[in-house]
Structure 1
Amino acid sequence: MARVLVVGGGIAGDALALMLERAGWAVTVAEIAPAPRTGGQTVDLRGDCRRVLDELGLLPAALACLVPQAGAAWIDERERRLAEMPVTAFDGRGYVSAEELLRSDLARILHRAAGPGVTHRFGETVEALEDVPTGVLARFRSGGAEEFDLVVGADGAHSKVRALRFGPEQRYRRPLGLAHAWFTLREQPGTPRLDGWFLTHNASGRRSVAARPGRAGEQEIGLTFAADALPPRRDREARFALLERTFADVGWRTREFLAAARQAEDFALDTYDQVHVPSWHDGRVVLLGDSAWCASPLSGLGTALALRGAAELAAALDAAGALADPGRLPAALAAFERTMRPRTASAQQLPPGRVAAAAPKTALGIRVNALAMRTLQARPLRPLIRRAMAGTEHGRDAA
C-alpha cells in the first residue's frame, strides 16, 4: 500500500488525508500542535467550500454548525453606524453570508471523518527530507525516520516543509503591510451583544477593531494594524504589549478586547502576507494550501482554496494511477499544479484598495470607506455588483 505523509493537520491537510484514505492510501498526518487546533476566523460555505464538502458527504454536518448572521456594519467609537450591509445584500453574495461556521468547527468535522487508514501524530513535524530510490525519507522532530512514497507540505504560510525543500521563507513571503490578531471572547453578563452583526470600528493610523458572532455565548474578535514584522512567537508578553501600545487610544470596546486577548486560549497574531512559490512540487514532495499559495485572509478565499486544492491533488493522483504506481507521482503533481495555478493566481490579485479598506489610514479614508459600502448597495449599482460577484465567486471565507 502506498504511503503518504501529510505535514500539517489544518483544513487542507485533513481534507487531503480523508480523500486519500478513501482512495486506498495509508496516510500519516504530522501536526506540530499538541491537539487539533481551535480558533480561527469564520468560514463562508459559498462556492468551492460547499461543493467540496458536499462531495465528501460532510455538508450536512457543516450546515448543522452555522453561526446566525444578520450582516456587517461599520461603526464609530460610540457604535453609531456609518454603513451596514445586511446578510441579504446582493442575493446573499455580499460581505457576510447566511451560511458561515467557525473554522474550528470545520476542522473538527474533517478530523473526525477520518477512518483507521489515517494516523495523526500530534506534537510532531519533520526536521529533514531526503530522497531515496523508492521515495522520501522523513526524519521527525521526535526522533526516528520513515520512508514515504509522497510527502505533502500542508503546514501553512510558515511551512517547515517549504523551508526544508524549497528554501527560506523570505524568498517567498510578500508582506501586505498589515498584521492581525484574532481570538475568542467569552461573553459575561454585562458584555454587549452583537445580535448577529459583524461590527467593525476603524481608527486612523491603519487600525481596525472587529467583533463578530461566534458560538452561543462567544464573540470572535479581530485587531488589525500596520506592521510587516512582529515580536517572536515565543515572546507572548511582547506581542500583547505591542497590541496594547498600538490600540491604547482607540475607542469603542477596544480596552475590553485587549484585556480579553490575554485570557483567550486561542489567541493568535500574524502578519497579512502572500506566498508566491514558482513551483509547488519537487520530486515526490508537494506543497498544498497556504504553504504553496497563501493569498492572505484579505482575499477571503483561504479555506475555499485549501479544500479545492486538496480535491484537485487527490484527483490528479487518482487520474495518474499513482496509488498503484508511485513512479507516476511527478506527473500527477505537475498536473495538479497546472489545474490549481490559475485559481490561486486569481485569488492573489486583491481588488484595488483592499488593504486600505481593511484598515484606512486617515479619518477621511474611514469616511470614504463607509461611503463606498453604502454606495455599492445603491439601487442603480445592484445589478452590476451582483454580476461581478457571481462571476468571481469560488467560495469565500468571511471577510
Structure 2
Amino acid sequence: MTHALIVGAGIAGDTLALCLARDGWQVTVVEIAPALRTGGQTVDLRGDSRQVLVDLGVIDAALERLIPQRGIAWIRADGSRMAAMPVEAFGGQGFISHEELLRADLAALLHDEARAAGVVHRFADTVDALTDTADGVDVRFRSGHYAVFDLVVGADGTHSRTRALRFGPESRYRKPLGLAHAWFTLQEQPGTAGLDGWALSYNEPGRRGVTARPGHDGQQQVGLTFAASTVPRDRDEQLTLLDTVFAGTGWRTAEFLDAARTAPDFALDTYDQVHVPDSWSDGRVVLIGDAAWCASPLSGLGTALGLRGAAELAHALRQHDVQDGASSARVAAAIETFEAAMRPRATAAQKLLPGRVAMVAPKHQWGVRVNALAMRMLQARALLPLVEELAGSRGHEPALPVHVPVPADVARQPAPDGR
C-alpha cells in the first residue's frame, strides 16, 4: 500500500488526506499543535470551496454549521454607518456571503471525515529531516520516530517547516504586504453590543482597523489590523504591541484589547504572500495550500485555493495510478499535472484588487472616507461589469468539477451555477 505523509492538519491537509484515504492510500497527518487548531476567520462557501465540498459529499454537513450573515458595514466611532454591503450585493458575490462558516468548524468537519476514512493523525509532532532514499522519503520526526513514505506533502501553512527543510529559508519566498492582523473570539456578556448578523468594520488613520463579525451562540469574531511587516512570537509581547498601536483608538477597541488577554484562540501574524517560483515540488516532496502559494487573507481565496489544490493533487495522483505503484516517474508525472492545473489559479489569486491594502487599512482620514464612498459606488449597477471583470482576472472564476472520490452511500449534489 502506498503511504503518504501530510504535514499540517489544516483544511488543505485534511482534505487531501480524505481524498487519498478514499483512493486506498495509507495516510498519516502530522501536526505540530497538540490538538486541532481553533480560531481563524470566517470562510464562505462559494466557487471552489463549495464545489469541492459538494464533490466530497460533505456540503450538507457544512451547511448545518453556517453563521447567520446579513452583510458588512463600515462605521464611525459611534457605530453609525458610512456604507454597507448586504449579502445580496453583486448577486451574492460581495465581501460577505449568506453561506459562511467558521474556519474552525470547516476544519473540524474535514478532520472528522478524514479520521472516519482511516487517516492517522500524530499531534504535537512535526518533521525534522527529509532524506531521499531508493524507496521514497525517509522522515525523521521531532519525537524521534522514523518512517519511509512514498510521498510527503507540506500543507503546513505560510510558515511551512516542510518548505524550509526542502526548499530553503522562508525569507526567499515570503512577500510581506505591510499589514499584521490579530484575531480571536469574544464571548458576549450582558451589556455587550450585538451585531445582528452584520460584520462591522471601523478604521482610524495610521492604518488601524478593527472588525467584529458574528459567531456561534453569542460569540463575536474580532480582528485588529495594523501596519507591520514583522511581529513578535511571544504572546505577552504581542499584547503589549497591540496596546501600543491601538492606544486611544475609538469604537469598541478598548473592550477588544481586554478580551484578547484571555481569548484561548488568540493569534497574531502578518499578512503575507508566498511565491515559490519554478516548482512546488522536489522529488517526492510537494507543497500545497499556503505553504506553496499563499495569496493572503486579503484575497478572500485562501480556503478555496486550499480545497481546490488538495483535490487537484489527489486527482493527478489518481490519473497517473500512483496509488497502484508509487514509482518516481509516476509521482513526478502526477505532480507536473497538478502544478499545470493549479499554477494559473494561484497566480491569478495573488493579483490583489487595486488598492486592496489601503481599502482594509487606510493611512489617512480622507482615505477612510474615500473607502466608504467607494464601497457605496461599487454597488452601482453601471459599475457591476467592471467589478466582475476585475474579480475574474484575480482568481474569482466559476468553479469546475474536480472529480474527488466519494463513497457510494454519499449522495452528490450539483453546485448552483456560478457558485
* 1:363 alignment partner in structure 2: 365
- TM-score, length-normalised on structure 2? 0.92
Runs of 4+ in 1 over 6 A off after TM superposition: none
C-alpha separation in 2, matches of 1:395 and 1:382: 17
Shift of 1:116: 5.1
C-alpha separation in 1, matches of 2:389 and 2:228: 35
C-alpha separation in 2, matches of 1:193 and 1:378: 29
Shift of 1:382: 3.6
Alignment pair present for 1:186 and 2:179: no
Change in 2 beyond 3 A, CA 1:387/1:169: closer
Spell out the pairing of 1:57-136 with structure 2 (5 A cutoff): 57-114=57-114, 115=116, 117-136=118-137
* 2:238 alignment partner in structure 1: 239
Shifted more, 87-96 versus 264-273: the winner is 87-96
Spell out the pairing of 1:193-232 with structure 2 (5 A cutoff): 193-231=194-232
CA contact (8 A) 2:44 2:99 kept: yes
CA contact (8 A) 1:295 1:302 kept: yes
Q: Give 2:336's aligned amino acid.
A: A
Secondary structure at 2:261 match in 1: helix
C-alpha separation in 2, matches of 1:381 and 1:323: 49
Spell out the pairing of 1:145-184 with structure 2 (5 A cutoff): 145-184=146-185
Change in 2 beyond 3 A, CA 1:335/1:379: closer
* 2:271 alignment partner in structure 1: 272
* 2:355 alignment partner in structure 1: 353
Q: Give 1:3's aligned amino acid.
A: H
C-alpha separation in 1, matches of 2:276 and 2:244: 35
CA contact (8 A) 1:48 1:395 kept: yes
CA contact (8 A) 1:46 1:394 kept: no
CA contact (8 A) 1:304 1:394 kept: no
C-alpha separation in 1, matches of 2:265 and 2:193: 21
Shift of 1:144: 2.0
Q: Give 2:344's aligned amino acid.
A: P
CA contact (8 A) 1:70 1:87 kept: yes
2:334 to 332, 343, 346: 332
Counting aligned pairs with the same residue, the percent is 64
Give RMSD over aligned pairs: 1.3
CA contact (8 A) 2:349 2:396 kept: no
CA contact (8 A) 2:10 2:156 kept: yes
Shift of 1:358: 0.7
Size of the alignment, in residue pairs?
394
* 2:299 alignment partner in structure 1: 299
- TM-score, length-normalised on structure 1? 0.97
* 2:407 alignment partner in structure 1: none
Shift of 1:385: 3.4
Shifted more, 110-119 versus 210-219: the winner is 110-119
Shift of 1:386: 5.0
Gapped runs of 5+ residues in structure 2?
Answer: 400-419
Change in 2 beyond 3 A, CA 1:353/1:258: same
Q: What are the superposed Cα offsets for residues 344-372 of structure 1, whole Å, 9 maximum, x if unpaired? A: 00000111100111100000000100000
CA contact (8 A) 1:50 1:395 kept: no
